Amino acid sequence: MTSRPRALVITAPGINCDGELAQAFGAAGAEPELVLLERLRRTPSLIDRFDLIGLPGGFSYGDDIAAGRIMAVLMRETVYPALAAAIDRGTPMICPCNGFQIAVQAGLLPGAEPGHWPDRAAAPTVALCQNRNARFRDIWTRVEVPEGTRCVWTAGLATDPEADLMPSAHGEGRFETDPATLERLRVGGQIALRYHAHDNFNGSMDAIAGICDPSGRVLGLMPHPERFTRWTQHPWWTRLQAGQMRQEPLGLRMFRQAVQCVMRARDVSRTLTA
């Protein structure tokens, strides 16, 4: 019997979406385990045991100084090399909301080309800034998967503009970068998710809701796919047509796609070593 892939959920004081992230991994067929960042800082090699990684949302360390800043600094100092090595060997990683804010400041996104991750985390080249209206928003919005994205979590997923909404809850989620970096993201297929044209509530550049690294394995996004793994979580699920609920919710499909990516890689490895 094939064992379920192991999913690491990195948690810390102030993180409050770790349980939801673990549930999403479990629903998609993985075996989740919550591990405190302090434990990983003492023993970074623990990361080598896992097939998938999740960096949850919340308010890590109270979001003191800036959203995700303290946790990002702690990760840059200790666990960055182990995380970069895991990504390089094929480990998918998802970073929703505060996880996205942490990942860009920790040098994990937009990331590096496979085989070329630096020994030390690079300076951030993108940012998640204060929302356009300078207010925290808790809202469900329509999202779209761009054609040509290389993200293993979203590539090929068809979206229904009425059924495939995604929940967001943040005050600092406006994606910003310089024009040259934005063009590299577009050309490289690193834009993983966009807000619908009329639902870009935080004012993100190019309506970007999420990006991936050049390998497509690391996904950072401001919406919370882990909060949409059951149709009963949809804000108006009782009014949807039966046909719209025939397939799994978009959030669960994203996690399922990453787990299947890991399983396919296992099958290839077995074939090569047989």
pLDDT tens, position by position, 118-164: 999 999 999 999 999 999 999 999 999 999 999 999 999 988 888 88
CB 51 within 8 A of CB 261: no
What is the rounded CA–CA span in Å between residue 159 and residue 127?
26
Residue 162 resides in a domain = yes
Average pLDDT over the chain reads 95
Residue 196 resides in a domain = yes
Residue 194 resides in a domain = yes
CB 30 within 8 A of CB 7: yes
Residue 166 resides in a domain = yes
CA angle 264, 119, 172 (to 5 degrees): 80
CB 227 within 8 A of CB 167: yes
Tell me the residue range of the domain where 176 lies.
Answer: 6-273
Judged against a pLDDT cut of 70, whether residue 207 lies above it is answered with yes
Count of structural domains within the chain: 1
Judged against a pLDDT cut of 70, whether residue 182 lies above it is answered with yes
Provide the annotated active-site residues.
97, 224, 226
β 191-195/137-144 pair status = antiparallel
CA nearest neighbour of 153 among 205, 187, 109:
109
Beta bridge partners of 95: 220
Task: Give the torsion through C-alpha atoms of 222, 226, 232, 237, to 10 deg.
Answer: 30
Residue 1 resides in a domain = no
DSSP strands (E only) in the chain: 6-11, 31-36, 52-54, 93-96, 126-129, 137-144, 165-170, 174-177, 191-195, 208-212, 218-221
Identify the three-state secondary structure at position 229: coil
Mean pLDDT of 52-73: 95
Length of the chain: 274
The model's pLDDT over 221-256, given as tens digits with 9 standing for 90+, comes to: 999 999 999 999 999 999 998 888 999 999 999 999
Q: Exposed e or buried b for every residue in 13-31, given b needs 16+ CB within 10 A?
A: ebbebbebbbbbbebbbbe
Residue 232 resides in a domain = yes
CATH number at residue 49: 3.40.50.880
Mean pLDDT of 43-66: 96
What is the rounded CA–CA span in Å between residue 238 and residue 209?
27
Residue 40 resides in a domain = yes
